[in-house]
Amino acid sequence: MTYLAKSPWIFHYDASSCNGCDIEILACLTPMYDVERFGIINTGNPKHADIFVVTGSINEANREVIQNLYNQMPDPKVVVAVGICACSGGVFRECYNVAGGIDKLIPVDVYVPGCAARPESIIDGIVTALGVLEEKRSKNIHSKVVTDHERPERHNHAQGGAQ
Amino acid sequence: MIDIIMAIVFVLVAPVIGGLVAGIDRKVTAHMQGRVGPSVFQPFWDVGKLFEKENAVVNETQIFYAICYVLFMAFTGALFFSGGDLLLVIFALTLSQVFLVLGAFAANSPYSYVGAERELLQIMAYEPMVILTAVGMFVATRSFNVADIATTTIPVVLLIPGIFLGFLYTLTIKLRKSPFDISTSHHAHQEIVKGVTTEFSGPSLGLIEITHWYETVLLLGFLYLFFGWNPLLAVVAVIVLYLLEILIDNTNARMRWQFAVKSAWLVALVAGFINLAALYFLSGGVS
Amino acid sequence: MQFVQLLVFLILFPLIAAFFLLIARKDLEREWIVKLSALAIGIVSVYLLITTYDKGTLLISAIPAEPTGLVMFILEMLIAVYILYLGIKHKKWLVVGLILVQSVMMLYFELVYSHSVHVQANLFSDELSIIMALIIGIIGSLICVYSLGYMKFFHEHHPEMPDKRTWFFGTMFLFLSGMFGLVFSNNIIWVYFFWEITTLCSFLLIGYTKTEEATNNAFLALWMNLLGGIAFAGAIIWLAMFGNGIMGLDALTTSGKVIALIPAALIGFAGLTKAAQLPFSAWLVGAMVAPTPVSALLHSSTMVKAGVYIIVRFAPVFDSTVTGYMIAMVGALTFLLASGIAISQSNAKRVLAYSTIANLGLIVACAGIGTYEAIWAAILLIVFHAISKSLLFLATGTVEHRIKSREIDDMNGLIVRMPKIAAMMVIGIAGMFLLPFGMLISKWAAIRAFIDAPYGFVFVIMLAFGSALTLFFWAKWMGKIIAVTSDSKNIEGEVDRSEWAALVSLAGLTFVTTLVFPMLSTHLLEPFLMTNYGHIAQLSQDNIIIMILMLFLLMVMPLSILLPKHKHRHLAPYMGGRTTTADMRFSGSLGVQKKTVLSNYYLQDWFGEKKLKSWGIWLCSAVICIMILSAVFRVVM
C-alpha cells in the first residue's frame, strides 16, 4: 500500500443537494465515526484534494462549478457521488432544471446511493475509492480535462471578451 | 564555535521530530475532542502522499519560492542548533517566511493573496516580540550566541519572565494555532480557503509541510533556551508548554486579525518594556 | 600636494561641468558632458579612496581662508538676494522673513567677528569624508547619467512643460559640488556655505516643473531648510562670541561640552531639518513632485545625507548627554511613525519617501546615542541606504514612464510585463529589508549598539516595532511585483541605455557592497572609530561567513530557472469554483462579467498619514525643545 491510500483528503461539494447527504458527510467527521482515524481530512480546496465528494444533482447553476472544481484537482483523483441525487438525479431527475446525475458531466468512480446516504456507506464508498485511486496511480492514468459539451456557449462566454 | 555536526544533525533529524510532534499534536487534539484520531505517523503519510501527487501549479515560480522557503528554513534551524547568533537566526527566519509570502503572492489568486497579506500581518504582529526575546536573552546572559545561552548557568526564565510570557503569546501565532490561525488554517474554509497555501498542491505543498516541521523544532528550541540552565527541566518545560499550546488551540475560536496584531503588540510592549526596564534598573543602570 | 588637488578637483570639477552644461545647447553635447564628467567624478572619488584610505585624518591648510571666505560670503549674499526676490515674487512671506533673519545674522558675523576667526585647516579628509565622497561621487553621478534618458523621455511626453534641461543638469552638478564641499570642509563657515548651496539646489530642482504644486512644495522645502540654516548661523555666531573663535570641526569635536554643546545642538537641529525628520518631514514628501532623478538624488546621496552627516560628525559631542538622547529620540520616533505611515501609502514614491524618512530617523537615533557601536551602525546605514534607495527610485522612475502610474497596485505582475526592471526593483527592495543585504546588517548593528547604550532598551523596543512595520510595507510591495499574471505581455521594450547602465550598476553595487562590507568595515570604519572613540565595532568572522553563504544561496537560486525541467500542468487560480478567463474575468450573477482586482492592505485606520503625522509633529517638536533647552541648561549650569 502506498501513502496515497493512507492519507485521502476529500473535497466536498454540495451541488443541489437537500443537505441530507451533507449532514451525513459531516457526521463522518464527528467523534462517532471519526474518519480522521484513516487520515481522511476534509479540505476546503480542490487543489489539495484527492477525492471529490459530490452530493446532489447537476443543474444550470452548478454545472460550470463542478467542472471547474474537477479540473482543478491534481492527479490522481477520484470522484465519489454520494446520495441518489448525485448518482442519477434521484427524485429530481425529471425536473425541468435538473440535468441528471453528475456522471453526465464528470467521470464518476464510486456511486454511494441512499437518501440520505448513511455515514457507514459513505465511509465504505470512500474506502472503495481508495482502491480506484491506487489503481489510477499505479497505472499512471491522467484524468482528462472536462469541458462542458452540453453547454458550449456557456463555456465560451466565460472565455469571451470584456464588457 | 559554529558546530557543523549539529547543523547537519538538525537538517536530517528535525523533520522526523517535527513530523512526530505534528502527529502527536493531532492525536492529542483528537483525544481532547473525544475522538480516536489518526496515527502519530499520519503527517509523514500525508507528506508522502503529497509527493506522489501531480505537481500542478498556477505558475512555475511558486515551486521556486517553495524550495527557497524550505531551504532557508532548514538553514535558519541549522544556524540555531549549531549555536549561531540569535539575531541572525531571527532575521534568517524572516527571510524564509517572506519566501512563503512571495509564493502566495506569485499565484495572483484572490485567496492566496488574502492569505499572503494576513501572513504578513502575522509576521508584523510577532516580529517585535521575537526581537525583544533575543534582546532579553542577551541582557540576561550577555551573549547573543545560542551556544552560550543554551549552556548558561543563569536561570534565564527567572530574569526575563515578562519576555517569556510575551514569547509564549506570540508562539501561538507562529505555530498557527487558534485563536491566531489567521493566514492559513484547516478550519477557515469559508473565509480564506487555505490562505497562503491555497495555490500550492502536491510536492510543493509537501515542501511547505516539511518546512513547518523544521519551524516547529526551531521554535521549541527557542523555548528550550529559556530553561537552558537545567536541561532536564528544559525538556519537561518544552513538552508541557507545547501541550499548553494544543489546549489553547482546542479551546479557542479563531479571532480576527486585528485582534491578533493589536494584542500581540500590546503584549510585546507591556511585557517587553517592563521586563527590560526592570532588568536595566535592577542591574544599577549598567548594561 | 597631490591630495589637496584631489579634494579641490572634486569640489570644483562638478562646478566646471555645471558651467559647461549651462552653455551646452545640443542634446548630444550635453550627453557627452554629463557622461564624461560623471565618469571623471566617479574615478577620482575611487582614486581618493585608494590613495588615502590608510592615511587617517588629513588636514589641509594650503588654501587661504581670507579671499575664499570673502568670495563665499559674497556668493551667500547673492543667493540671499535671489531667494528674497523669488520670495517676494511668489508672495512667500515666511521665506522672505527667514532669509532676511539669516542674512542679517551672517552679515553681523562677517562685520563683527570674521577677523577674529582662526582656522588652521579649512579642508580636511578622513574615513567618513571618503565614504561620503564615494557615495556622492558614484551614486550621485550614476543618477546624473540616468537623468539623461529620463529627462529626454519626460520632455517628449510632457510637451506642455518648458524644456529647461540645461538648467536642470547644471543644478544637478552644482549640487554634487556643494555636497563634496560639505564633506571636505573643516571650517564650519565653509560647511555653512555649502549647506546653503544644497538648500538652494534642492529648492531649484523641486520647483523644476514650475507647476503650482511644484512651486509650493519647493518653497515648503526652502523655508524648512532655511530654519535649519538660521540655527546653523546661530551656532556660528555663538562660537564666535563664546567659543574663542574655534571654527574647525576637528577642534570643535574635541573641545569639550561647554564650548561645543550649544553649537552642536543648533547644528543638530539644522541636521534634523535637512534630514527631514519629524516635524520637518513634509518637505521631503512634497519633493516627490519633482522628476524622479531629483528625488533619487535628494534621498540617497545628497541633501538628506548632508543632514545625517553633520549629526554623525558631532556625535562625539553628543555622547551620553541629554541633548544627544533627545536627538536620538527624535530619530527613533521618526523611524517608528514614518514606517507606520509608509504602510498606509499606495503611491510608490510616497512609500519610498516615508521609508527614507524612517531610515534617516534610524541613522539620527544611532548618531544621537553616539557610542562607537552606534556610529558604526549609522555609517553603515548611510552607505547601504544610499545604494538601495537610489536603485529603487530610479527603477520606479523607469516603471512610471512605462505604465504611466506611480501606484503600487498598478505594478501588479510587473515581473511579467517588464522582467528586467522588475528584477532591479526586487533587488532594491530586498536590499532594504532582507537578511544578507546591507540594510539589515546595519539594523542588526543598531540593535546591538542600542542594547549596550544607557537607556538603550527604550530605543531597542522602538526599533523592534519599527522594523516589523518596515517589513510589512516592503514585502507587500515586493509581492505585487512578483505576482505572475497570466494575461500580461512583455511591454518592456528598449530601456534607454543611460537609464539601464545606472540601474545595473546600482543593482551590482547592492551585491558588491554586501560582499565587501567586511573590508569596508576594517579599512574605513574601524580606523575612523579608533581615532574618534578609541574602540572598534565589528561583526564576528562566523557571522560574516554565514551571511556571505546566504548571499551566494540567494544568487544561485534564481539560476535554477536555467535548469531544464519537465512541464507542470497549469491550473487557473482557485476562484471558488468559478470559471475564469486568462485575464481573471469571471461571469458573476446574471452573467455579468467581472474583473478580479487585487489590492494591497493599507490599514488606513491604524496608520493613516494625518493621524500619525500630527502625533509625530507634536511629539518631536516637544523633544526638540527639550533638546535645545537641555544643551543650554547643561552649559549654563
3-state secondary structure of C109: helix
Query: Where residue C514 falls among pLDDT bands split at 50, 70, 90?
Result: confident
Q: Are strands A41-43 and A58-59 parallel, antiparallel or unpaired?
A: unpaired
Q: How many domains does chain B divide into?
A: 1
Say whether pLDDT at C318 is over 70: yes
Q: Which residue has the higher pLDDT, A42 or C54?
A: A42
Cell triple for C471: 517589513
pLDDT digits (tens, 9 = 90+) for B229-264: 888 999 999 999 999 999 999 998 888 889 999 999
> Is residue B119 within 8 angstroms of chain C, CB to CB?
no
- Predicted confidence at residue C229, as pLDDT, reads 93
- Predicted confidence at residue A158, as pLDDT, reads 44
Contacts of C595 in chain A (CB under 8 A): 162
pLDDT digits (tens, 9 = 90+) for C386-402: 999 999 999 998 888 88
- Cα dihedral C385, C387, C388, C394 sign: positive
pLDDT digits (tens, 9 = 90+) for C88-100: 999 889 989 999 9
For C346-402, the three-class secondary structure string (H helix, E strand, C coil) is: CEHHHHHHHHHHHHHHHHHHHHHHCCHHHHHHHHHHHHHHHHHHHHHHHHHHHHHHH
- Predicted confidence at residue C562, as pLDDT, reads 66
pLDDT digits (tens, 9 = 90+) for C428-460: 999 898 888 888 888 988 998 898 888 888 999
Domain presence at residue B282: no
What's the mean pLDDT in C111-139? 85
Domain presence at residue B98: yes
- Predicted confidence at residue C455, as pLDDT, reads 85
Query: Where residue C113 falls among pLDDT bands split at 50, 70, 90?
Result: confident
Cβ–Cβ under 8 Å, residues C396 and C410? no
Say whether pLDDT at C542 is over 60: yes
- Predicted confidence at residue A163, as pLDDT, reads 33
Say whether pLDDT at B59 is over 90: no
- Predicted confidence at residue C608, as pLDDT, reads 86
Other chains touching B, judged by 3 or more CB pairs under 8 Å: A, C
DSSP output for C137-205: IIIIHHHHHHHHHHHHHHHHH-TTS---HHHHHHHHHHHHHHHHHHHHB-BHHHHHHHHHHHHHHHHHH
Cβ–Cβ under 8 Å, residues B15 and B23? no
Best residue of B61, B72, B88 to probe chain C, by most C CBs closer than 10 Å: B88
Residue spans of the domains in chain C: they are 1-239, 319-557+598-637
* Amino acid letter for position C134: L
Cβ–Cβ under 8 Å, residues B156 and B225? yes
Say whether pLDDT at A159 is over 60: no
Exposure string over B228-252, b if 16+ CB within 10 A, otherwise e: bbeeeebeebbeebbeebbebbeee
What's the mean pLDDT in C50-70? 79
Query: Where residue B284 falls among pLDDT bands split at 50, 70, 90?
Result: low
Best residue of A4, A6, A71 to probe chain B, by most B CBs closer than 10 Å: A6
Q: How many domains does chain A divide into?
A: 1
Supply the range of the domain harboring residue A77. 3-159
Domain presence at residue B111: yes
Supply the range of the domain harboring residue B15. 4-276
Say whether pLDDT at B164 is over 50: yes
Q: What gap in Å lies between CA B269 and CA B274, rounded to an integer?
A: 8
What average pLDDT is seen over chain C? Answer: 87
Choose among A69, A74, A158: nearest Cβ to C586.
A158
Contacts of C553 in chain B (CB under 8 A): 71-72, 75
Say whether pLDDT at C413 is over 70: yes
Is the pTM for the entire model greater than 0.90? Answer: yes
pLDDT digits (tens, 9 = 90+) for C136-188: 999 999 999 999 888 888 888 888 888 888 889 999 999 999 999 999 998 88
Q: What gap in Å lies between CA B270 and CA B278, rounded to an integer?
A: 12
Angstrom CA distances, A137 to A75, C569, C597, stand at 8, 16, 38
- Predicted confidence at residue C59, as pLDDT, reads 81
- Cβ–Cβ pairs < 8 A, chains A and C: 42
Angstrom CA distances, C199 to C8, C224, C273, C422, stand at 21, 10, 11, 33
Say whether pLDDT at A153 is over 60: no
- Predicted confidence at residue B177, as pLDDT, reads 87
C201 forms bridges with which residues in the sheet? none
Distance spanning both ends of chain B, measured CA to CA: 25
What's the mean pLDDT in A102-117? 89
Q: What gap in Å lies between CA B51 and CA B40, rounded to an integer?
A: 19
- Predicted confidence at residue C270, as pLDDT, reads 94
Query: Where residue B285 falls among pLDDT bands split at 50, 70, 90?
Result: low
Choose among B58, B127, B287: nearest Cβ to C570.
B58
Choose among C574, C581, C592: nearest Cβ to A46.
C574
* Amino acid letter for position B44: F
pLDDT digits (tens, 9 = 90+) for C189-224: 889 999 999 999 999 999 888 889 999 999 999 999
Query: Where residue C363 falls among pLDDT bands split at 50, 70, 90?
Result: very high
- Predicted confidence at residue C618, as pLDDT, reads 92
Query: Where residue A151 falls among pLDDT bands split at 50, 70, 90?
Result: low
Question: Which conformational region is residue C453 in: left (phi greater than 0), alpha (psi within -120 to 50 degrees), or beta?
Answer: beta
Give the lowest-confidence range in C126-140, C484-498, C621-635: C484-498
Query: Where residue C563 falls among pLDDT bands split at 50, 70, 90?
Result: low
Q: What gap in Å lies between CA B82 and CA B148, rounded to an integer?
A: 11
CATH number at residue A117: 3.40.50.12280
Say whether pLDDT at A150 is over 60: no
Instruction: Give the CA radius of gyration of chain C.
Output: 24
Domain presence at residue B163: yes
Best residue of A43, A45, A50, A143 to probe chain B, by most B CBs closer than 10 Å: A45
